Every structure is written in C-alpha cells, then in structure tokens.
Amino acid sequence: MRKTAREALVSYSFCLPAYLIFTVFIFIPILWSFILSFFDYNILTLSAPRFVGLYNYTKLIKDQVFWVSLRNNALYSIVYVPISLILGFIFALLLNDNFPGRNFFRMAIFIPSVVSLVIESIIWMLIFSAHPSGVINRFIRIFGIPPQGWLSDPRLALFSVAIFMIWRSFGYNMLLYLAAMQNIPAELYEVAELDGAKPWQKALHITLPMVKPTTFFLTVTSVIDSFQIFTPIYIMTGGGPGYSTTTVVNYLYQKGFQEFAMGYASAMSYILFIILVILTVIQRKGFRAEQITL
C-alpha cells in the first residue's frame, strides 16, 4: 500500500466514529423525517405509514395556528437577536478594559448561559409573577405603574420570555466578542488615539468592523436559536395564553407528540428548515455585500 493511501486510511479510521455517530443519530433521522413528511404517520400506528404526497404541506399552509406560531417566532427573533447581540457587544467593550473585578463581572454575566434552562425558567416565572407582590410588579410599583400579567397577558407574554432569554444569552455573546476583541491589533487603537479619536469612535470604526466575522456567526446562530426556542415556552407559558407564545417548535411538539400527527410535524420541521436556510443565505449575502462596500 502506498504511503499516502495508508495515511488516508488512518485519517479516515480516526474520523469513522464521528461519521458513524453523525450518520446514525443525525443524518438518517433528518432523511427519515423528510420522508415521513409525505406520509400520514402516527407513532402509535404499528402499521406502515400511509403516503399522502404533499398533503401535509398544503394543509400546513392553511393552518392558522402554524402562521401564528411563525409570526410569534419572527417577533421573538426581532426582539431577541439584535438586543442580545448589542448587549453582548457593549458588555464586551466595557469588560475588555483592565480594571479590578473585571473577571468577576465577566463570570457573573456569563454564568446564566451555562445554568440549566429549566431552572432559570422556573426562577423567572416567579420574577414575572402577576400578583402585586411579584418581583417585577413590586419594582414597577415604585414608579406608579400598576401590576402587570407578564406571562398571562397575551400582549406581554412573548416579550417577557424574550427578556428572560436575552438576559440568559447575552453573556455568551459577550464572551465571543471578548475573544474577538483580543485579536484586534493594538496599533489600530494607538493610531486612532494619535488622530484624537474618542472611545465611541474607536468602538464604532475599529472594534465593530474588526469583530464582524463574530457578529455574522452570532447573528446566524442567534436567529437559528430564536426559531428553535422551545424549553422556556414549554415551561413558562405552555404556548399560552391562547396561542400568544406558541412557537413553531412548540406547535410541532404538540402536533407530533401530543396529537400524534408525526408526518404533519415532520412537514412543519422542514418548512422551518427551509425558512432558516433562506434567512442564513440572506444574512450571508448581506454581510458579504457590506464587506465589499468596506
């Protein structure tokens, strides 16, 4: 056996476990759920799934709850993605400076993103309590604002969940921005200082463009995350009141595992997949166009 072929074989054998895991636990289920989306399949039906062609997709287009969930996802994404990114960037800027206690603040802000989401959801349910003695309601009372049903008012519930998730995730964004900022050559700031640039000008004209790959990465992953939100909704609101906090994944879960329409749920997951691919391509193009302009 030639040396290169032997080396290739060794390399492939090292990769094999990872490929096997990917194939069995990710690729095959993805493919299988795509096939299922063309079938009427109930997980409890021991007989074969019934082929229905595009019926699940056409039914989905007419399903008002699906559109409401999609709208909720879009609203949530519009609030969650930019705010968590902006906060992550601002805190990274602040905590990139050298000052006593810097590591404590970094850790304090990052910790929520590694604590169990379930536990945090339960804690925030208490914070958002609608009773006049609830934590936030007590706070807003100082300003003369009456108690609000943070999770029980359809107008507020989705935004309340978004506030919680922003609090949870901006620490992670901050960490990635911090890593990116530490790779920016110090000379750039020195030159800017010689030219009399103010801190905000340095942040806007040096830091922000230099961390653009991180911004792109965080935007894409945050949009995907925001469209896949499930756990906090499941725990904090159950998708209610009404359908005001039902997101696509919550609805998909409801259809698949509570109403047993597995084919329909698979079709929904593929629509979500297509939406996410489109959004990612748009973002990618947007960032590229900006790079050319720069």
Instruction: Give contact residues for another protein (rule: CB under 8 A).
Output: 42-46, 125-126, 129-133, 147, 149-154, 157, 237-238, 240-244, 254, 257-260
Comparing CB distances to another protein, the nearer of 112 and 147 is 147
Q: How far is the CB of 245 from another protein (least distance, A)?
A: 9
Evaluate whether 223 touches 77 at the Cβ level (below 8 Å).
yes
One-letter amino acid of 264: Y
β 50-51/39-40 pair status: antiparallel
Comparing CB distances to another protein, the nearer of 141 and 202 is 141
Rounded CA gap, 89 and 154, in Å? Answer: 31
Q: How far is the CB of 278 from another protein (least distance, A)?
A: 29
Comparing CB distances to another protein, the nearer of 172 and 264 is 264
Comparing CB distances to another protein, the nearer of 242 and 286 is 242
* Measured CA angle at 11 (ends 5, 15), to 5 deg: 140
Q: How far is the CB of 73 from another protein (least distance, A)?
A: 18
Evaluate whether 161 touches 245 at the Cβ level (below 8 Å).
yes
Q: How far is the CB of 242 from another protein (least distance, A)?
A: 5
H or E stretch covering 231: helix 231-236
Q: How far is the CB of 18 from another protein (least distance, A)?
A: 25
Evaluate whether 105 touches 95 at the Cβ level (below 8 Å).
yes
Rounded CA gap, 268 and 290, in Å? Answer: 33
Comparing CB distances to another protein, the nearer of 121 and 219 is 121
